[in-house]
Amino acid sequence: MNEPGKVLIVDDEETMRDSCRLTLAKEGCQVFLAKDGAEGLERIRSEKPDLVLVDLKMPGVDGIQVLQELKEIDQTIVAVVITGYATIDTAIDAFKRGAYDFLPKPFSPEELRIIVRRGLERRRLHLEAVALQNEKQRMQKVFVAMVSHQLRSPLVTVQQGLEVLTTGIAGELSAQQAKLLERMKVQVGRLLVMIRDWLDLARLESGRLAESLEPTSLFQVLTEVVDAFRPQAESRRIALRVLGPGPATVRGDREALKQMLGNIVDNAIKYSCEGGSVDVSVEESGSGVAVKVTDTGVGMERSEIPLIFDEFYRAGSGRDRNEAGTGLGLPIARRIAEAHSGSISVQSTPGRGSTFTVSLPKP
């Protein structure tokens, strides 16, 4: 056996326990014994074996109960059923309860060695996979933090410097210089949006974007979102209005909800024609709250609607209009809605605009 492990043998027959112990000890395994299911569960908790050989038919706590409780103790421990009452039904029952394999009695020492080797290898591979996943998550968190600091912070500084220059605070600029700096400011802004969306997506993947759920006023959230996007709307002569918001309250993460609704409002403004409008409204029902964002923009073909929540997808109208974007805003919005046990639906008509509806449960 390439990598000996800790094996627990749970069987009410002393001769069976001893023969299995001798066979596996010669292979280098550290072997523990239990004469019944109750003692077996105690040894599982205290010794934390890699693999358990368990008989199905035992007085008191039988093998099926051991399998059931084993999953609650540690799902990574491999369980192999050994029994003299092997039938298809008992095998299926054991597999349903988490058994890895089935070894009918009587069996030879070689059969025991093979099945234990296979079970221990499965355990090793599973633990390696878990360790790699944990390391991936750790590296992702480190990388997200690095990107946030090493890229976002300097770009914010550049953006602030460009703002100072374009406003003329640092001195008068020629028309050509002002035009060049304005272009630079726009491109830096695009980079910051890309970094923000990527960081939000990374936080979503790690389940950290909607962490603090508490009663939250949608009216206040919507007011802040609309105030933040009003300059963008005014620059394109788009009327941004909040229609009839009531004192609707949901249980949610305030910042995540602002991000979700902000992404939808931003999308509505981008795809609206100059001189159009974007209306935000709130409707309450018996069990939930619906926030609707309606624009008078270019709309979408019905075939595109299922695709707009895919990461990096951008609707054809946006590509044609050369609108800046990462294709992550709506996917992030949908994931935030789902993290709040909600959903997002869309109705759209080409040339007549779209309505995005966010449905959230009441607290």
- Residue 39's domain is classified under what CATH number? 3.40.50.2300
- Single out the residue in 205, 232, 261 at which a domain terminates: 205
Residue type, 175: A
> Are 167 and 292 contained in the same domain?
no
Statement to judge: residues 94 and 166 lie in one domain: no
204/94 Cα distance (integer angstroms)? 37
In a domain, 129, yes or no: no
Gap between the Cα atoms of 110 and 23, Å rounded:
9
Q: Are residues 259 and 351 in the same domain?
A: yes
Q: How many domains does the chain have?
A: 3
Residues 235, 347: one domain?
Answer: yes
pLDDT for 71 equals: 85
pLDDT value for 321: 47
The answer on 357 and 226 residing in a single domain is: yes
- For residue 130, being part of any structural domain is answered with no
184 and 162 Cβ atoms separated by less than 8 Å: yes
Q: Find tokens 């009452």 and name the residue.
A: 85
Q: Is the separation of the CB atoms in 120 and 50 below 8 Å?
A: yes
The range of the structural domain enclosing residue 293 comes to 214-361
Do residue 354 and residue 227 come from a single domain? yes
- Specify whether 193 is located in the same domain as 252: no
Q: For the domain that residue 226 is a member of, what is the CATH number?
A: 3.30.565.10
| Per-residue CA distances from 175 to 44, 160, 166, 179 (Å) | 78, 20, 10, 6
pLDDT number for residue 1: 42
Per-position pLDDT tens, the chain of length 363 = 455 789 999 999 999 999 999 999 998 999 999 999 999 999 999 999 999 999 988 888 888 889 989 888 998 899 999 887 756 677 777 788 888 888 888 889 999 999 999 999 999 998 898 888 888 777 766 776 666 667 777 888 888 888 888 887 877 888 888 888 888 888 888 788 777 777 766 666 666 666 678 888 888 888 899 999 998 899 889 999 888 656 688 888 888 899 899 999 998 998 888 889 999 988 887 778 889 999 998 888 888 888 888 876 666 554 444 455 567 788 889 988 998 889 999 999 888 899 999 999 887
Do 263 and 347 have their domain in common? yes
First to last CA, the chain: 56
- Same domain? For 223 and 163 the reply is no
Note the pTM of the prediction, 2 decimals: 0.53
Kindly state whether residues 254 and 294 are assigned to the same domain.
Answer: yes
Q: What is the Cα–Cα distance from 41 to 56, expressed in whole angstroms?
A: 14
CA distance 315 to 317: 5
Give yes or no for a cis peptide into 363 (omega within 30° of 0): no
HSE, side-chain direction, 13 A CA sphere, residue 307: 10
| The last residue of a domain, from among 187, 205, 223 | 205
Q: Do the domain assignments include residue 183?
A: yes
